């Protein structure tokens, strides 16, 4: 290995250790670097560069560095990452996360209108609503761009209906929210002079069924099985167990669990406080014994050493908070698969289903609707009334005691 390349890999190795990357991962990188070094010696290359990395990768796997994906062989993906960390360090002196977040910037062709609209959403709506609206605007504007329509003044009824057809496969509730977002956007364009026609009148009405659907929930036996299948000897398992308890015991939304901070816990008062991301409501709950024990176990024996102030962090280096768009679905889905749950035709399997379960349990125990609404942080008891749709027979199986 030539001195220049050895210095580069040595510096990256030191940074990887500083970032607390797993020893097996670092060892794997070194194996690929050794192969790359041999290639450089055979080709008479004295300095590592992107061109060098591209040549080696193409000659080895027959694909370019820009091509690897989940469909490519695992070995090529690992080699790709080993080369990428070298290039990142050369360019910036640091190493970026393996999975970069999606670019949510909008095309300049739709500026400044879309930028001003999203700013107004940020100012007037909750973060979760902002994310849902951004997702739908990305979908709609992507559709317009593919059709070569980047001038809002040329929007017409046919274009709007054509887009609606592309969303006909989604459930009726989603279609209802799609229509709401489009009307809101078209109304903004009209009132701010970006269009001379109020296109919101062309958005078809969709009769939603939100108030009529039965909430998804899991019985006490199912939840006990779910928790029993969490490997609490594993650091990530300790984290997952605590996350599930917050959802089961307090009915917290996934975003509020994900964003919990170390400073939110008052150990002296045995309580914790947070502000709901959806409603902005300040909430304070007692720190129940089993939840406190799970947190202590996680802090002492599971949580990686990190400067991140979020309670729950990723367990792959660099150790940091979960992304704002991360719904942690893979965590509960993992344990549902291990538990052998298969009945997902009429109920959902996200963390939010655990919120439904605690609401149904409280209702079965005769807790007044205003109290349930207060616990869940609903702004109105009308929202909580959806839980009256759960059948009485089902409610009898909904006790959520956790050993």
- CB count in 10 Å sphere of residue 199: 20
- pLDDT score at 393: 43
- pLDDT score at 356: 66
- pLDDT score at 351: 75
Instruction: Determine the Cα–Cα distance for residues 216 and 221; give it in Å rounded to an integer.
Output: 15
- pLDDT score at 43: 92
- pLDDT score at 91: 87
**CB of 157 within 8 A of CB of 202?**
yes
- Per-run averaged pLDDT (10 residues), the chain, 403 residues: 82 87 88 93 92 92 72 78 91 71 77 95 84 92 92 94 90 89 96 95 78 64 89 94 92 91 96 87 91 96 93 88 86 89 70 69 61 59 52 43 47
Nearest to 359 by CA among 346, 349, 368, 348: 368
- pLDDT score at 394: 43
Cross-strand pairs, 354: none
CB proximity list for 313: less than 8 A, separation 6 or greater: 239, 303, 304, 306, 319, 320, 321, 322
Nearest to 244 by CA among 335, 176, 149: 335
- pLDDT score at 288: 92
- pLDDT score at 398: 41
**CB of 377 within 8 A of CB of 283?**
yes
- Work out the widest C-alpha separation in the chain, in whole angstroms: 79
Nearest to 255 by CA among 330, 328, 333: 328
- CB count in 10 Å sphere of residue 283: 17
Please identify every residue annotated as catalytic: 253, 278, 352, 355, 378, 387
pTM: 0.61
């Amino acid at each position: 290995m030539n001195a220049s390349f050895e210095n580069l890999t040595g510096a990256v190795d030191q940074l990887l250790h500083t970032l607390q990357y797993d020893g097996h991962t670092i060892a794997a990188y070194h194996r690929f670097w050794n192969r790359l070094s041999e290639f450089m010696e055979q080709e008479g290359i004295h300095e590592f560069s992107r061109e060098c990395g591209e040549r080696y990768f193409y000659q080895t796997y027959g694909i370019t560095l820009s091509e690897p994906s989940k469909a490519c062989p695992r070995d090529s993906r690992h080699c790709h990452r080993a080369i990428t960390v070298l290039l990142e360090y050369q360019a910036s002196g640091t190493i970026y996360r393996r999975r970069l977040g999606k670019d949510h910037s909008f095309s300049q062709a739709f500026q400044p209108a879309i930028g001003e609209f999203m700013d107004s959403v940020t100012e007037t709506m909750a973060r979760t609503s902002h994310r849902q609206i951004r997702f739908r605007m990305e979908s709609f504007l992507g559709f317009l761009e593919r059709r070569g329509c980047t001038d809002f003044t040329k929007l017409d009824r046919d274009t709007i209906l054509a887009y609606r057809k592309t969303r006909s496969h989604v459930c009726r509730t989603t279609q209802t929210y799609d229509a709401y977002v489009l009307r809101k956007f078209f109304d903004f364009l009209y009132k701010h002079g970006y269009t001379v026609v109020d296109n919101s009148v062309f958005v078809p009405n969709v009769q939603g069924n939100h108030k009529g659907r039965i909430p998804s929930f899991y019985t006490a036996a199912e939840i006990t099985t779910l928790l029993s299948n969490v490997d609490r000897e594993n650091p990530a398992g300790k984290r997952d167990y605590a996350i599930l308890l917050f959802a089961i015991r307090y009915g917290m939304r996934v975003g509020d669990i994900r964003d919990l901070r170390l400073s939110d816990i008052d150990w002296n008062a045995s309580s914790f406080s947070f502000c709901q991301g959806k409603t902005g409501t300040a909430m304070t709950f007692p720190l129940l014994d089993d939840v406190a024990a799970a947190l202590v176990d996680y802090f002492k024996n599971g949580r990686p050493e990190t400067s991140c102030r979020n309670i729950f962090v990723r367990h792959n280096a660099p150790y940091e908070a979960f992304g704002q768009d991360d719904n942690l679905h893979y965590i509960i889905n993992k344990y549902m698969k291990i538990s052998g749950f298969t009945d997902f035709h009429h109920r959902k399997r996200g963390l939010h289903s655990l919120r439904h379960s605690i609401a149904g349990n409280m209702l079965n125990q005769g807790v007044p609707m205003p109290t349930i609404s207060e616990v869940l942080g609903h702004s109105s008891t009308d929202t909580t009334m959806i839980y009256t749709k759960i059948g009485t027979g089902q409610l009898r199986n909904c006790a959520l005691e956790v050993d």
